[in-house]
Every structure is written in structure tokens, then in C-alpha cells.
Amino acid sequence: MLQRSFTVLVVDDVTLMCDFLHGAVNRIPNCNALKALDGKTALELLEDATIDMLITDLEIKAPDGLELIKRIRAGQLPTAHDIPILIFSGNAYLAQVQQSIAYDVNDFLVKPMSFDALGKKVLHHLTHEKIIQSASYYADLYQQELDKPIAPPKEPSRKVSASIVRQAPAQEETGYLPTVDDETSLQKEKDFLSWPEDSTTGIYQLDRRLKKFAFNLSCFHNVFVKDCKLVAMEAERNRACEAIDYLNYVVKNLQKREGRPEFWHQFKIQLVKLNKLGQQLEQADLRHNSLVLDLLKRFSYWWMQTINRPLVQKLTATVEKLHD
């Protein structure tokens, strides 16, 4: 029996499952369940309410379950970073389990599960404390993960892409792709979209999200031009679209915190254009070669418009401006 009342946030994008979790938790005396069908709503609830426990599916609309977990543990939300977190998922893939363990998730519940079994698990974790590290420990871990994509050879998704690459046929001249320089093989591996060295928007988090988008779209470009299997292209496309979604989410939050109305006005104009391209990418038939090539060309054009002044400036210029 619980000695005080607890608020449990349940997150699942399948309404039936979400209602099931909600019902199971609400059955427990002194437990009050809040529900969210996507990561965004979950974040809002985590920001506004005092949450004592999170039960989440992993595969939910961005930010996904793992992302929610990382942000809680890293202390990026008003909710206590050491609350019990239970994953409620239909799959237990090794990579997900490993990451869950790294962030000290309390339990991994595999769907489907009965009301009674779920109730027992919830009670157990509300009454048995697990030792959780300090928020700064997870924040460092999270930061390391966010920084990882910048180092191309070590990026896991890129490794996956490489493993399913078929023998590439002779490259056709596409006209729009970044010119393949014959000088060095290194240059041939140059990213489709790259962040200009020593440059910044002046907002570190925004830089990071833009770099992530550039990386993901470059991966998609990579698998597309190398004529990889459809499954690889679909996966990379999905990641690129998620990076756009997340960029939108971050912009919305940063806007509230940061000033610079003129900057945001111009950035949002660019963001609207990017969202349109993102929608087209999401719906594109990847077997339609010329259509995708044309779309990539427009992404490239968008990138060139965005990573230059006035939105992105050389770091030295920004520092000088600060000194002035």
C-alpha cells in the first residue's frame, strides 16, 4: 500500500495501449495516471506537472521514448531526474536495452502485459528505490551521444548503412551533386551537407540540431546515390525527417528562451521552407530516381541559403561582435 499519492505519466502512441496503462495505474490506490500519446505531449506534461514515475513505449512520435528518458535523467526537465522509469515495449532490441541500461531505466516491461502484473511492477518500483547517478553524469553521457554524429567514421547509423550497401554501379553524372573531386579519396567521402567550420548561429543547441539534420540528410544522400537497398534508404529518410521534426521542436523551445526576434523571424522563414521539403521527402517514392535527385538538389539549395549570413556567422565575427 502506498503511503502517499503518486502521479504516473504513461506514454504510448496506440490509444488502446495508452488507455490500458492509464486504467491499470489508476486502479492502484493513491496512484493518479496522466497520459500522453506522443513525445511532445509527454514533454509538456513533464514540464508542467510533478511526475513521480514514467512508463513509456519506445517507439512514439518524436521525441521518442529513449529521448524522453535521456532528458529526464540528464536533468533537462523540471521533473526529478531520478524518478522510476519503466519501458513498456513490444520489442527488446539489444541496442535499445543497452541504452536503457546506460540511463538506469528501472524495468523493461514487454507488451502485452496484464493489469495485475503491471500494477505489481508499478507498486514495486514506487516503493523500492534504485540508485540513480547524478544528473550531471547522464548529462555528460547524453552530450557525448549528441556529439558523436560529428565524427563520421564512428557513427553507428552510418555503419549500418555501410553494411547494407550493394556494390555501387558506375556513378552517373547528376549535375547537382557536390562535385566529386578527383584529388583525394577523402574528398570523395565529403558530406552532402556540411557545417562550415568555426561557424555558429550564436545558439549552441540550434547549431547542434542543424548539424544533426545535415548529418542525417547526408546519410540519406549517401545510401541513395550508392543505390542501396530500399530498406536502407527508408531508414535514413526516416532519420532525416525526424531530425527536421526535432529541429522544429527545439526552435519552438529556444524561441521562448532566447531573444533576437529578427533572427527568429528569418530563421522561421527558412524553417517553413525546410518543412515543405521534409514533407515531400517523407512522401517521396524512393524508386523514383529523378524526383528524389531533384528534391536533394532543393535541400542543398536550402542549406546554402541557411548556413550563411545573417543566420550563421563565423565564430570570430560573433566573438568580435560580443567584444564590441
Partner 1 sequence: MTDSFESSIRGMPVLDLQVLQSFYGSLSEEDIEAVLLRFYQEASLYHQRLSRALAMQNVMDIIQMAHKLKSMAAMTGAQQYSTLCIHIERMMREDALDELEMLASYVPLLWQQLEQSIQAQTGKAG
**Which positions touch partner 1 (CB under 8 A)?**
13-17, 19-20, 59, 90-91, 111-116, 164, 229-231, 234-235, 237-238, 285
Nearer to partner 1, 59 or 207 (CB): 59
Nearer to partner 1, 111 or 154 (CB): 111
The values of phi and psi at residue 103, to 5°, are: -100, 20
**Residue 320, CB-side half-sphere exposure with 13 Å CA sphere:** 5
Using CA atoms, how far apart are residues 193 and 218, in angstroms rounded to an integer? 6
For residues 13 and 57, the answer to whether their CB atoms sit within 8 Å is: yes
Provide, rounded to whole angstroms, the least separation between the CB of residue 71 and partner 1. Answer: 23
Provide, rounded to whole angstroms, the least separation between the CB of residue 111 and partner 1. Answer: 4
Using CA atoms, how far apart are residues 1 and 119, in angstroms rounded to an integer? 12
Provide, rounded to whole angstroms, the least separation between the CB of residue 115 and partner 1. Answer: 5
Nearer to partner 1, 73 or 121 (CB): 121
DSSP per-residue codes, 256-277: HH---HHHHHHHHHHHHHHHHH
Helix (H, G, I), strand (E, B) or coil at 119: helix
CA dihedral 204, 205, 209, 215 (to 10 degrees): 40
Helix (H, G, I), strand (E, B) or coil at 106: coil
H-helix segments, the chain: 15-26, 39-48, 65-73, 94-102, 115-127, 135-147, 156-163, 185-188, 204-225, 230-257, 261-283, 289-306, 315-323
H helix or E strand, kind and range, residue 61: none
Provide, rounded to whole angstroms, the least separation between the CB of residue 19 and partner 1. Answer: 7
280 Cβ neighbours under 8 A, 6+ residues apart: 295
Provide, rounded to whole angstroms, the least separation between the CB of residue 164 and partner 1. Answer: 7
Residue carrying C-alpha cell 546515390: 225
Provide, rounded to whole angstroms, the least separation between the CB of residue 227 and partner 1. Answer: 16
Nearer to partner 1, 173 or 285 (CB): 285
**Residue 10, CB-side half-sphere exposure with 13 Å CA sphere:** 26
Provide, rounded to whole angstroms, the least separation between the CB of residue 14 and partner 1. Answer: 5
Provide, rounded to whole angstroms, the least separation between the CB of residue 217 and partner 1. Answer: 16
